[in-house]
Amino acid sequence: MAKFENLVDSFAGLVALLSSQFSSVKFTPPYVYGFVDDSPDGFENAVGDYFQVKYPVNWPDDERYDFDWAALAGDTDPIQNFPY
């Protein structure tokens, strides 16, 4: 059954996914009327500037996503497929 709560959860998940992938990359023209980029509550604009996200600042190194680009650069098929 469609519920507003499911819509909000799905949209929040999508914003989190896009923000984690593209960080703060702007796909829109820059603002010409804005003077302050920092938010006092620690939130940053998400992709598209419609929502704000708060990125973690104390994430342990052993839990961070990482890859060795030097090793992947020479790989002919660097994308790993998972059969779900």
Cα gap 33→65, rounded to integer Å: 36
H or E segment to which residue 52 belongs: strand 52-53
How many distinct structural domains can be found in the chain? 1
80: in domain: no
Residue 47: the pLDDT is 74
Cβ-Cβ contacts under 8 Å for 81 (sequence gap 6 or more):
none
Cα gap 4→16, rounded to integer Å: 18
Residue 4: the pLDDT is 92
15: in domain: yes
The one-letter amino acid at 20: S
Residue 42: the pLDDT is 81
Residue 32: the pLDDT is 53
- Domain residues for the domain of 32 are 4-73
User: pLDDT, tens digit, for every residue of 18-76?
Assistant: 888 777 666 665 555 555 556 678 888 777 777 888 888 888 888 887 778 888 888 88
Cα gap 51→12, rounded to integer Å: 9
60: in domain: yes
81: in domain: no
